[in-house]
């Protein structure tokens, strides 16, 4: 495997073009309600775009992201970008972290150092991981798949090949959102290599039909109904016509920002505003990895590839689950045990939402350490 060092270095031309597009944004009329029920409010998108144009400093943020050791390799004709932060502790456990949509490697920037260098972040040498954090194919700094067929199972196989190519014959895996599906597939398809998986979103299992739902199950069913009726339009569009959607998002930075930031409102643990959970700079860092790489369309294709046919692998490797209260659909252990047959840890978190490592890095790190300590 040919592996080359990588540094993020967005061209001045791309940044100048972004600024010109922001200045020339053609705005829609204001929403007809006083909340977010028709979508992300016009006034907030205008505030964010004004901040993006005049205050946000990409070069500073780029330097921050470049503090991690980054590389690129090619697997099956697709460039795979990844962070590879080796621990100073040689006996550390290899761990691959997989993001989802609308996320990126940015989600993990607060947890990479505590996981790889625990003795400087409140842990012990036994807690150490060699951290590998790839950009999903079609997302951010990775290449765009050259042909159809790059669904969840394909990405899991590519990530297994990446880890083995790095010299890690045995490794742990962690993920949320699509990263959860990929991590589940890693555990199901590569048990000889994957020593265990940790998830902060669980692929839905089956609820017994012959008994009334418990209070926990009722909450999950209500969340699922809300998601189906009010929060899943993006997935229907991305799962059916990603190419059509991509023309608008790739051409308009305001459109790309709105498409992503609405989910930071909907899926984080906040008091009504996304900035209760994440800063403007953090959200824009994530938006930038979609904008500067033009990956709105290629990232959405993962839904087209996988969403309707997604059937979780049955996983027999040890599994840990971190249940954050504002997850899109709160996981129910009894529903999950048919898919994950060896659940060793099931943690009910006091706060946090869908973007676990981004929102609550300390809780995330503590739970990952606790789980893998049991199975090393």
Active site residues: 177, 303, 354
How far is 37 from 230, CA to CA, in rounded Å?
9
How far is 297 from 299, CA to CA, in rounded Å?
5
How far is 15 from 8, CA to CA, in rounded Å?
13
Tokens of 149: 């067929």
Q: At what angle do helices 233-240 and 242-251 cross, to 10 degrees?
A: 110
Tokens of 58: 């990409």
- Kind and range of the H or E element at 344? strand 343-348
How far is 77 from 93, CA to CA, in rounded Å?
29
Secondary structure (DSSP) of 284-314: HHHHHHHHTTT-HHHHHHHHHHHTTT--PPP
Tokens of 296: 């709105």
Strand, coil or helix: what is 197? strand
């Amino acid at each position: 495997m040919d592996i080359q060092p990588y540094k993020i270095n967005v061209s001045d031309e791309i940044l100048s073009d972004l600024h010109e597009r922001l200045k020339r944004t053609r705005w829609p009329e204001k929403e007809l309600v006083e909340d977010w029920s028709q979508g992300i409010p016009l006034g907030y998108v205008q505030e964010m775009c004004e901040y993006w144009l005049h205050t946000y400093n990409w070069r500073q943020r780029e330097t921050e992201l470049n503090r991690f050791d980054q590389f690129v390799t090619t697997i099956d004709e697709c460039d795979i970008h990844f962070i590879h932060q080796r621990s100073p502790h040689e006996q550390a456990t290899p761990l691959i972290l997989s993001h989802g949509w609308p996320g990126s490697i940015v989600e993990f920037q607060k947890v990479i150092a505590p996981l790889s260098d625990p003795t400087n972040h409140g842990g012990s040498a036994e807690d150490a991981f060699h951290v590998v954090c790839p950009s999903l194919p079609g997302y951010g700094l990775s290449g765009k798949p050259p042909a159809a067929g790059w669904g969840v199972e394909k990405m899991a196989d590519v990530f297994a090949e990446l880890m083995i190519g790095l010299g890690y014959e045995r490794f742990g895996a962690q993920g949320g959102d699509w990263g959860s599906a990929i991590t589940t597939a890693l555990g199901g398809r590569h048990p000889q290599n994957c020593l265990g998986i940790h998830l902060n979103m669980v692929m839905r299992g089956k609820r017994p039909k012959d008994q009334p739902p418990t209070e926990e199950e009722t909450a999950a069913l209500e969340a699922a109904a809300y998601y189906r009726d009010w929060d899943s339009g993006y997935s229907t569009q991305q799962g059916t016509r990603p190419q059509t959607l991509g023309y608008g998002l790739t051409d308009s930075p305001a459109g790309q920002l709105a498409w992503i930031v609405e989910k930071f409102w909907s899926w984080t643990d906040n008091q009504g505003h996304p900035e209760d959970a994440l800063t403007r700079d953090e959200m824009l860092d994530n938006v930038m990895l979609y904008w500067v790489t033009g990956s709105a369309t290629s990232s959405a294709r993962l839904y087209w590839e996988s969403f309707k046919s997604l059937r979780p692998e049955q996983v027999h490797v040890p599994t840990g689950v971190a249940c954050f209260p504002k997850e899109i659909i709160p996981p129910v252990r009894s529903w999950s045990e048919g898919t994950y047959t060896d659940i060793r840890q099931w943690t009910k978190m006091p706060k946090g939402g869908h973007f676990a490592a981004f929102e609550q890095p300390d809780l995330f790190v503590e739970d990952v350490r606790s789980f893998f300590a049991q199975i090393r």
